[in-house]
Amino acid sequence: MQYVLATANPDKATEIARILADADLDVDLVPRPASVPDVDETGATLEDNARLKAQALVAATGLPAIADDTGLEIDALGGAPGVFSARFAGPDATYADNCALALERLTGVDPERRTARFTTVAIACWPDGREVVARGAVEGVITEAPRGAAGFGYDPVFAPTEGDGRTFAEMTAAEKHAISHRGRAFRTLAAGLGGSAGAGHGGA
């Protein structure tokens, strides 16, 4: 089945395509048309924002759409940046800007209090209103300085608890996807899409 991928972030699009391919899901991902404007992420939750993006692409293309939203919750910052993770340091923030602000806010915070978690909500929406929603999360800690050159976003400052002390940016793509929030969310989504293939759409 053909799905349009709602994200305009090329790093995220590459990662999602790789995860779905590794899940052995036979889907044809169509890039988001350049003519479709950015969707205002005005939702109060990750699921709200993912649904806004997916529904906008369904409306624009007439095709089923896949979208996600991801948030980093840092316990010492009261759960921030959360739904504002991509724009933590401002609307035009770079990955480095966001990481730098997170580290700045954690200056002087003891290592045992630098706990955090990544959560991804992935969603597939169809023109008939049906949808499949999946979640994935991973616990970890925020490092005292960026480490590694792979990945994107907050990967250089997030070391998953289930790992060996390396940040996501120090792992290979396969190592990261095996335990990451996005890997877990999209493998769960893939299972839901696979189960709905015969009907031609997903279950609510």
d(CA 151, CA 153): 7
Q: What kind and span of H or E run contains 10? A: helix 10-22
3-state helix, strand, coil in the chain (%, to 5): 40, 20, 40
Active site residue 69: yes
User: What are residue 43's phi and psi, to 5 degrees?
Assistant: -70, 155
Among 28, 38, 68, 69, the active-site one is 69
Residues 6+ apart with CB under 8 A from 116: 72, 73, 74, 75, 139, 140, 141, 142, 158
Name the nearest CA neighbour of 98 among 109, 88, 110: 88
| Residues identified as active-site | 69
